[in-house]
């Protein structure tokens, strides 16, 4: 994947190995308080490339590929799916931030990256000064709230969690079709216009790599098992996210059992607010201007806590 287009000109390129032997690929740039930016599925670190130049004027950006995605290590999964548990991915992020000299930082995560981000805030509250989960509700809440309609709309939660090698085999037969169908289904305009040619090159390259297809299936298998179990145990123990939290979401995200996103996050956080962006699921690529307008005041308000 070395020939892929560089969407972060002027940003440094690094690889950091964790204690678990996972090599994390990342880009760094900007100045100011550290901000960790995490991507989701089926994408890579490049989701932030439209926002990065402006964010870099305010923050020191750390933009990795999660384990199993993009150009980071993609180990084989294990029977209990703990290799791709969000707790393990959060430990990767903590390692690289400490290696870069950022023991305390802000973090924003989209989609699966949002799940890594809130687990990081729960497991390491001393490290996370502010949290921005983008277009998600917690994993346990997703499974609790499955209805006939949500099961159809969010079929991938069940499909990707099927035992190896069923989803890997089916996706491998038509990787471009599967990728484009997924992106179109979740984007506001239901086409590929939000995604630049350069970003699509990164996403297609990943989808053609069987090791990475396996990795994101393991990510969802973890979501159906260990991640959900950890979420439920955390709530049962009375633990909450204590740092200031901004839940960003697209305007399409409907209220359901238990209310809208803010109502749900209030059960997980002691200090949370929400902002809606006119967008489908991919806020940073569909509407970077309004996403920045919602995000920057929150970052500025919490920069002093880093």
Do residues 67 and 74 touch, judged by C-beta distance below 8 A? yes
> Which uninterrupted H or E stretch holds 133?
strand 128-134
For the annotated catalytic residues, the residue numbers are 111, 281
261-267: long-range contacts, CB 8 A cutoff, minimum separation 24: 261/137, 264/137, 264/138, 264/141, 265/133, 265/137, 265/138, 267/235
Structure tokens at 6: 């560089």
The answer to whether the Cα torsion of 276, 278, 280, 281 is positive or negative is negative
Q: What is the pLDDT tens value at each position of the chain, 306 positions in all?
A: 558 999 999 999 999 999 999 999 999 999 999 999 999 999 999 999 999 999 999 999 999 999 999 999 999 999 999 999 999 999 999 999 999 999 999 999 999 999 999 999 999 999 999 999 999 999 999 999 999 988 999 999 999 999 999 999 999 999 999 999 999 999 999 999 999 999 999 999 999 999 999 999 999 999 999 999 999 999 999 999 999 999 999 987 666 666 789 999 999 999 999 999 999 999 999 999 999 999 999 999 999 999
| pLDDT at residue 252, as a whole number | 74
C-alpha span between 257 and 51 (Å, rounded): 33
- For residue 60, the model assigns a pLDDT of 98
Cis peptide before 51 (omega within 30 of 0): no
User: Six-digit token pair at 284?
Assistant: 């940073």
| 256, 257, 261, 267: CA torsion to nearest 10 | 180
pLDDT value, residue 104: 98
**204-131-296 Cα angle (round to 5):** 85
pLDDT of residue 253: 61
* Neighbouring residues of 90: CB distance < 8 A, sequence distance ≥ 6: 116, 117, 119, 120, 123, 124
Q: Let me know: does 31 contact 62? Beta carbons within 8 Å.
A: no
- Looking at residue 259, what is its pLDDT? 79
| Alpha carbon distances (Å) from 128 to 6, 53, 64, 94, 109 | 29, 23, 17, 10, 13
User: E strands, 145-279, where?
Assistant: 245-250, 272-277
Cα distances (Å, whole numbers) of residue 271 to 38, 91, 96, 139, 152: 21, 24, 27, 19, 33
């Amino acid at each position: 994947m070395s020939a892929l287009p560089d969407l972060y000109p002027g940003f440094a390129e690094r690889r950091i190995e964790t204690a678990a032997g996972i090599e994390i690929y990342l880009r760094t740039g900007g100045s100011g308080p550290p901000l960790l930016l995490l991507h989701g599925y089926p994408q890579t670190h490049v989701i932030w490339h439209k926002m990065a130049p402006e964010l870099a004027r305010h923050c020191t950006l750390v933009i990795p590929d999660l384990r199993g995605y993009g150009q980071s290590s993609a180990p084989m999964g294990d029977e209990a799916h703990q290799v791709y548990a969000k707790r393990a991915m959060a430990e990767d992020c903590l390692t690289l931030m400490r290696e870069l000299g950022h023991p305390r930082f802000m973090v924003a995560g989209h989609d699966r990256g949002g799940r890594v981000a809130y687990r990081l805030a729960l497991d390491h509250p001393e490290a996370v000064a502010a949290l921005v989960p983008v277009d998600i509700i917690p994993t346990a809440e997703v499974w609790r709230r499955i209805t006939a309609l949500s099961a159809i709309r969010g079929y991938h939660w069940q499909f990707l969690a099927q035992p190896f090698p069923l989803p890997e085999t089916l996706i491998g037969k038509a990787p471009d079709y599967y990728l484009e169908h997924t992106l179109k289904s979740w984007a506001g305009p239901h086409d590929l216009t939000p995604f630049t040619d350069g970003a699509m090159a990164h996403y297609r390259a990943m989808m053609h790599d069987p090791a990475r297809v396996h990795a994101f299936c393991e990510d969802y298998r973890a979501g159906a098992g260990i991640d959900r179990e950890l979420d439920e145990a955390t709530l049962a123990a009375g633990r909450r996210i204590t740092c200031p939290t901004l839940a960003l979401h697209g305007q399409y995200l409907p209220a359901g059992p238990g209310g809208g996103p803010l109502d749900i996050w209030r059960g997980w956080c002691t200090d949370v607010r929400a902002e809606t962006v006119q967008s489908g699921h991919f806020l940073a690529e569909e509407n970077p201007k309004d996403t920045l307008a919602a995000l920057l005041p929150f970052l500025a308000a919490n920069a002093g806590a880093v």
